[in-house]
Amino acid sequence: MPTILLSDFGLFVGRFHPILVHLPIGFLLLAVLMEFWPGDKLRPAIRISWVAGAAAAVAAAGCGWLLANESGGGDTLWWHRWLGISVAILAVSGVFLTRKGGKTAKYFGVLVAGLLGLAGHQGGNLTHGETYLFEHAPVAIQKIAGHAPDSSAVKDWTRVNTDSINLYASFLQPALNKSCVRCHNAGKQNGDLRMDEPHFIFRGGDGGPAVKAGSPMASSWMKRITLPKENVKSMPPQGDGFDYATIALLRYWIEQGADTLAVLDPRDTPEEIKELLLRDYGLDLRPRLFVETLHAPAVSAQNLDKLRELHWSVSPLNPAGPALEAKPTPGKQLEPSALMKLAEIAPEQISYLSLDRLPFDDAQLEPLARFPNLNRLRLNGTAVSPKTVERLKGLRHLESLNLYGTEVDDRIFEHLASYPALKRLYLWQTKVSPDAVRAFSEAHPDVSIDTGFTFTKGDNETNTK
């Protein structure tokens, strides 16, 4: 018990540091300024300022040393502590070295003022964070100082793949940087806790790990940010706390295992979380068609006119985006060279493409592989063969393939098994066999196959519609 009382008394004395620290700043800077006043009339006042400044510096440094026991560790704290001690030592030395004034007193005063400024700057970083001094400065000054504003939290979610959004990096890390990192970083570690990197959060501090996977209310991070603001253990101690949405996201993240690499799965994300993300962040996790997520430069009106001259009928699939549908103009003859021209003018924008009943063979269909965002492809009635089906394996977004009325056979299934996004396959009036269709369907249950005949898995007989 006596040890605890002595420790508490040391912290009590240490907390006078913020009050005392302003006294040496005022007295010592005043002494330095008066050293440059011509003549010796101010020498008595200079002597008083040096003595008062030295006494205040010693008192402030002593209290600061005690207060540091409450503040964890870190580089910033280390520098502030020893710069403060150095100022106190130099201030005491100045009482004797500046007695006669002159150049020695002036140069020594400049040294003390410079050291005092460095110590004060480190103290400000400890109290307010390293960006405090520059966060409202013009952008040009912030860049020079190496504190350019962070725009990572400002996102255009319409341009982000909603299947690859990292919950921790996108929402929790920015909240940490804003509210927690100023007191829990490499330079300052209140409670011996760092929160500027994920692995430090799991390592924790004096109170143990800040996060316990699967148990939100057993995690000190969650408990401290949900305490009433008047509670002395509430975090953050200054400024606005975490908003409701961030707390809900943190709780959900911990419940799901606190994986910093985990991404949001729109299919499994609770409706409450989806509503919060939409309301507070403008992030809509509702399923979107591929054409709604396509990002590419728009095709110019001049190029659209060129395509129409080649007898292409081109229309937008999404009024707010660049995705296009292309098909032959009714009543016009489309030449094979027109497909090559389409691949030159709008390779990224064509998402739906129809070549129905055009007698194009494999060589003439070669440009199809040059449309990386092709999503639906109709090749009904063409001279397509398994060779073209193999060539299209590189189309990462091809979901629908229509081969109605072609000569393709069972060999296509070997290639279709490698299609990364295939969902719908149309094979009416082709040479594929029911057994091959059945085998492929059982191996790829997510692919819907329409062949014009039906079968029951496990049956050997096929019933024609």
The fold of 8-128 is: Four Helix Bundle (Hemerythrin (Met), subunit A) (1.20.120)
Distance of CA 331 to the CA centre of its chain: 52
pLDDT of residue 69 exceeding 70, the answer is no
Listed in order, strand segments (DSSP E) in 317-390 are 324-328, 350-354, 376-378
Alpha helices in 233-270, H assignment, sequence order: 244-255
Give yes or no for a contact between 416 and 439, defined as CB atoms under 8 angstroms apart: no
pLDDT at residue 459, as a whole number: 42
In this predicted model, what pLDDT tens digit does every residue of 303-356 receive, in sequence order? 999 999 999 999 999 887 899 999 999 999 999 999 999 999 999 999 999 999
pLDDT at residue 152, as a whole number: 45
Q: In a 3-state reduction of DSSP, which class is residue 229?
A: coil
| Lowest-pLDDT range of 125-129, 250-254, 383-387 | 125-129
**Amino acid identity for residue 341 in this structure:** K
Q: How far apart are CA 367 and CA 345, in angstroms?
A: 12
pLDDT of residue 430 exceeding 60, the answer is yes
Which residues have CB under 8 Å from 223's CB, separation 6+?
A: 217
User: Measured at the alpha carbon of residue 53, what is the angle toward residues 52 and 56, in degrees to the nearest 5?
Assistant: 85
Give yes or no for a contact between 353 and 339, defined as CB atoms under 8 angstroms apart: no
Neighbours of 75 (CB within 10 A): 13
pLDDT of residue 195 exceeding 60, the answer is yes
User: Measured at the alpha carbon of residue 209, what is the angle toward residues 206 and 213, in degrees to the nearest 5?
Assistant: 165
- Residue, of 270 and 459, whose pLDDT is higher: 270
Percent of the chain, pLDDT > 70? 84
Distances in whole angstroms, Cα of residue 446 to Cα of each of 412, 421, 424, 449, 452: 17, 10, 9, 10, 19
Q: How far apart are CA 132 and CA 445, in angstroms?
A: 57
- Residue, of 71 and 354, whose pLDDT is higher: 354
pLDDT mean across residues, the chain: 83
Q: How far apart are CA 218 and CA 212, in angstroms?
A: 6
376 forms bridges with which residues in the sheet? 352, 400
User: For the chain, how far is it from start to end, CA to CA, in angstroms?
Assistant: 90
- Residue, of 395 and 455, whose pLDDT is higher: 395
132: pLDDT confidence band, cut at 50, 70 and 90?
low
pLDDT at residue 154, as a whole number: 45
φ, ψ of residue 453 to 5 degrees: the values are: -135, 160
370: pLDDT confidence band, cut at 50, 70 and 90?
very high
Q: Using the structure block, give the residue that is written with the tokens 């011509």.
A: 38
- State mean pLDDT over 220-248: 84
In this predicted model, what pLDDT tens digit does every residue of 30-61 receive, in sequence order? 888 888 888 788 888 888 988 988 888 888 88
Q: How far apart are CA 22 and CA 28, in angstroms?
A: 10
Where are the CATH 1.20.120 domain residues in the chain? 8-128
Give yes or no for a contact between 79 and 123, defined as CB atoms under 8 angstroms apart: no
Q: How far apart are CA 366 and CA 360, in angstroms?
A: 10
394: pLDDT confidence band, cut at 50, 70 and 90?
very high
pLDDT at residue 75, as a whole number: 66
- Residue, of 98 and 301, whose pLDDT is higher: 301
Q: How far apart are CA 429 and CA 450, in angstroms?
A: 10
Q: Using the structure block, give the residue that is written with the tokens 């809509």.
A: 284
Give yes or no for a contact between 255 and 268, defined as CB atoms under 8 angstroms apart: no
Q: How far apart are CA 24 and CA 54, in angstroms?
A: 7
Distances in whole angstroms, Cα of residue 4 to Cα of each of 8, 10, 25, 192, 373: 6, 10, 33, 19, 69
**Would you call the peptide bond into 236 cis, given omega within 30 degrees of 0 as the criterion?**
yes
Distances in whole angstroms, Cα of residue 39 to Cα of each of 27, 104, 353, 438, 462: 20, 15, 92, 106, 114
Q: How far apart are CA 348 and CA 333, in angstroms?
A: 24
Provide the pairing of β-strand 324-328 with 350-354: parallel
- State mean pLDDT over 394-405: 96
The fold of 301-450 is: 3.80.10
Give yes or no for a contact between 323 and 291, defined as CB atoms under 8 angstroms apart: yes
Radius of gyration of the chain (CA): 36
Complete DSSP assignment for 123-174: HHHHHH-TTTTTTTS-HHHHHHTT-PPP-TT---GGGS-TTS-BHIIIIIHH
Q: In a 3-state reduction of DSSP, which class is residue 161?
A: coil
In this predicted model, what pLDDT tens digit does every residue of 95-117 receive, in sequence order? 888 888 888 888 888 898 888 88
pLDDT of residue 191 exceeding 50, the answer is yes
pLDDT of residue 403 exceeding 90, the answer is yes
Give yes or no for a contact between 348 and 372, defined as CB atoms under 8 angstroms apart: yes
Give yes or no for a contact between 342 and 315, defined as CB atoms under 8 angstroms apart: no
pLDDT at residue 127, as a whole number: 65
Where are the CATH 3.80.10.10 domain residues in the chain? 301-450
Q: How far apart are CA 11 and CA 6, in angstroms?
A: 9
- State mean pLDDT over 189-198: 80
φ, ψ of residue 177 to 5 degrees: the values are: -60, -35
Give yes or no for a contact between 249 and 171, defined as CB atoms under 8 angstroms apart: yes
Q: How far apart are CA 128 and CA 131, in angstroms?
A: 8
